[in-house]
Amino acid sequence: MDVGLIDCHCHLSAVEFCEDIEDVIMRAKEVGINSVISVTEEANDFERVIHLSKSYPGVVAPCLGIHPIQCWGSQEQRSVRLQDLDSALPLFQKYRDEIVAVGEIGLDFTPWYAPHAEHRDEQEAVFRRQLEISKALDLPVNVHSRSAAKVTIAVLKEEGIQQALLHNFAGKPSVAMEGVQAGYFFSFPPAVSRNEQRVKLIKQIPLEHICLETDSPALGPDKQARNEPQNITISCEYIARVKGITPKKVADVTTQNALRLFPKIHRTLKH
């Protein structure tokens, strides 16, 4: 079976997709995407992503997770607190059979979001709690690590995490290689094609540890325009160019990587 491309990290439940989700998914299929792994950021997003997975079975693969930054994009934007997990905990259990991973979870030590040690400590506590949930549910994790790459990988290793995707990774190549040695995967959105900052990183990470993502609706090829899963081909072509290989090779290997990392996708893919 040719399983096509897999977008390993996007936000289909975002408000930006409310009006035309059907068209967005149709355009994704037209470029060869068979599965879209849709993550959450807040507990009030959980039911919507589950609903999408039921509306588009075999296409939308849901993840549940609490992001290190809450109230994203609003005036109340802030670092996560332990109580943000309270309403999420029963939902992890309720939907344990439907979800393919725990995510988006992680650490964001950007100074204006986490200016003090207590912010970072609480983020880490929320992160570790969700890593425990992933182990209890035997699920991989879909991980955010902004200005916190080294700490994020260290925590994953300390917690004994075997299966992790570090999405939109921007840490040092030496830190990435620690993740590679631990068996982790890395993904890059279309925005990497806008500048050459990640060239060294993408060159150094073996293709066998790379997945494709869009992080839609953010991080597209045009900073001003809404990103969507169909732009996965831009990520694919960019990685191919940096590595000096064909886009088909990147597509084939990254899809196999995604199926290894997220084994429950096998169940959702339409034969």
Domain assignment of residue 23, given as a range? 5-268
Residue 267 confidence (pLDDT): 66
DSSP string, 46-105: HHHHHHHHHHSTTTEEEEE---SEESTTSTT-EE--GGGGTTTHHHHHHTTTT-SEEEEE
For residue 71, is pLDDT > 50? yes
- 238 or 270, higher pLDDT: 238
Residue 271 confidence (pLDDT): 40
172-205: pLDDT as tens digits: 999 999 999 999 999 999 999 998 899 999 999 9
For residue 87, is pLDDT > 80? yes
107-138: pLDDT as tens digits: 999 998 898 999 999 999 999 999 999 999 99
137-176: pLDDT as tens digits: 999 999 999 999 999 999 999 999 999 999 999 999 999 9
User: CATH code at 253?
Assistant: 3.20.20.140
* Residue 1: band (very low, low, confident or very high) from pLDDT cuts 50, 70, 90: very low
Residue 268 confidence (pLDDT): 58
Residue 207 confidence (pLDDT): 98
Tokens 């549940």 sit on residue:
64
- Mean pLDDT score of the chain: 95
Residues 207, 2: Cα–Cα separation, whole Å: 19
| Residue 41: strand, helix, or coil | coil
Residue 76 confidence (pLDDT): 83
Please return the burial class of 54, using the count of CB atoms within 10 Å of its CB with bins 0-12, 13-18 and 19+.
exposed
| Residue 154: strand, helix, or coil | helix
Residue 231 confidence (pLDDT): 98
Residue 3 confidence (pLDDT): 64
Structural domains counted in the chain: 1
